[in-house]
Amino acid sequence: MISFKNLISREKEINEIKVLEPAAGTGTLIAALCEKIKLRNEKIKLVFHAYEIEKILCSYLHNVLVECRRELKKFGHKLYFNTFNSDFILKNSRKIASNSKNNNLSPLYDLVISNPI
């Protein structure tokens, strides 16, 4: 798991980051993270899985991710993403339960970003 501190402080070299945003909204936190990434010297491959239950917000989210990809490319970084118009917990509950029963709790993501409620 990558800490946000290591990410922004540049203490650790990072080549690829898999990011989960379980309630992405319009992608504000994703855009903020991309702003931090673009200033790093080493080239980073970002992979986002962004979930949003509101269909109208998903279209805005998609546009934000496309713009983030375009901006990061200018700095030599790569961004790949999947947006899901669904509830993260409901969509993944069986997988989460199965992994916990098998003691397979290795993280699928390096970083999870979410707006505290």
Sequence-ordered strand ranges (E) for the chain:
16-21, 45-51, 78-84, 111-112
> Taking the domains of the chain in order of start, what are their residue ranges?
15-88
Q: Helix count (H) and strand count (E) of the chain?
A: 4, 4
pLDDT in tens, 50-94: 999 999 999 999 999 999 999 999 999 999 999 999 999 899 888
Residues 69-90, buried b or exposed e (16+ Cβ, 10 A)?
Answer: bebbeeeebebebebbeeebee
pLDDT tens by residue, 20-62: 999 999 999 999 999 999 988 889 999 999 999 999 999 999 9
Angle (nearest 5°) at CA 59 between 53 and 61: 75
